[in-house]
Amino acid sequence: MEKLKVGIVGCTGMVGQRFITLLAEHPWFDITVLAASARSANKSYEEALGGRWALDTKAPEKVLKMTVLDSEADFQKIVDSVDFIFCAVNMKKDEIKALEEKFAKAECPVVSNNSAHRFTPDVPMIIPELNDSHCEIIDSQRKRLGTKRGFIAVKSNCSLQSYVPALWPLDKKYGLTKALACTYQAISGAGKTFESWPEMVDNVIPYIGGEEEKSEKEPLKIWGKVENGEIVPATEPAITAQCIRVPVTNGHLAAVFASFEKKVDLEEAISVIESFKGAPQELELPSAPKQFVHYFREDNRPQINSERNLEKGMAVSVGRLRPDSQYDLKFVCLSHNTLRGAAGGAVLLAELLTAKGYITKK
């Protein structure tokens, strides 16, 4: 298949950098445009970064030499040069909404990491293994936007990428009624490193603005149903969350408590988690982990250092599944926040949308 041309809007940021490394050798997608704010525009990618590269692996030479475009001033040039864009920008919510809708209306599909459109009723918010069926809402969205190709699809917040994938198969088997999640979130989730956020060294901050609301509300849209041209969020399971920032570079961990309608057998629950497969595994998408959720039997796992990069950072790790005195079960889970939780999750979503025929060559 001829590769699809892709633009990365927000290319200099923490998530943008991950897109660069994930797409450098991608079998289906080819980076043809890099875009960011006017601050970075007309500079080479290397100059625009100005020392902000935060990843262990080096940026590809070809990309370092590319000229960064201004997502506003060079809008038409971007649209004309790509088949679709990834968008991960740090702007005001209403500005992001307007920018993403402008791209979609210009017939350029948008796969977004931003939260701005997550609750637009006809914008699907997809974890590809869980609710790939929500792609069908794109037909209604295109009707509203008056487009043939253009649409917006979003991925959910990074905080819930560990516990929702673990709870989903358990819900299918036992009927999840309620869950409590305490998340321990890495500083890259705020687009930061220890250099740019020295206050985080040897520190814990018990507040991440807006994160608890997202962690509680977004799962209900993922559990929602497509009805009359909208995704109607589910009303249960009831989820409550506390989100804490911890001094870790990458990897969000969650301690989870959950109750179910049916009695849970622990060994069976582990095998339900381990054997769970979704559309990405069935379609053998290039970025899909072979096994979506891995279970670790050792008491001291999953750990950030040993598990965050499991299956190229696209798999979720679970451990310490055991009975609880107040809920039915408790466990710990982990996912890489800028891979599965951000750029990697968005690349997998774009692969799903391509495999289902929603993203095509112009």
Residue 15 as a binder of ligand NAP (CB under 6 A): the answer is yes
Rule CB under 6 A: choose which of 36, 127, 135, 359 binds ligand NAP: 36
- Which among 11, 108, 135, 158 is annotated as catalytic? 158
Letters for 139-158 (x = contact with ligand NAP by CB under 6 A, - = none) are -------------------x
Bridge partners of 240? 180
Nearer to ligand NAP by C-beta: 91 or 220?
A: 91
- Which among 117, 134, 252, 336 is annotated as catalytic? 252
Rounded CA separation 320/295 (Å): 9
Instruction: Note whether 348 and 314 are within 8 A (CB).
Output: yes
Q: Which residues of 278-314 are buried (b: 16+ CB within 10 A; e: fewer)?
A: bbbbebebebbbebbbbbbeeeebbbbeebbebbebb
Residue 59 as a binder of ligand NAP (CB under 6 A): the answer is no
Residue 134 appears among annotated catalytic residues = no
Rounded CA separation 45/25 (Å): 18
Q: What single string gives the DSSP state of each residue in 150-171?
A: --EEE---GGGTTHHHHHHHHH
Rule CB under 6 A: choose which of 4, 6, 7, 16 binds ligand NAP: 16
Rule CB under 6 A: choose which of 89, 164, 254, 359 binds ligand NAP: 89
Neighbours of 2 (CB within 10 A): 8
Nearer to ligand NAP by C-beta: 43 or 178?
A: 43
Query: Among 268, 326, 265, 321, which residue's Cα sits nearest to residue 297?
Result: 321
Nearer to ligand NAP by C-beta: 89 or 135?
A: 89
Residue 215 as a binder of ligand NAP (CB under 6 A): the answer is no
List interacting residues with ligand NAP (CB under 6 A): 10-16, 36-37, 39-40, 71, 88-91, 113-115, 158, 188-189, 191, 337-338, 341-342
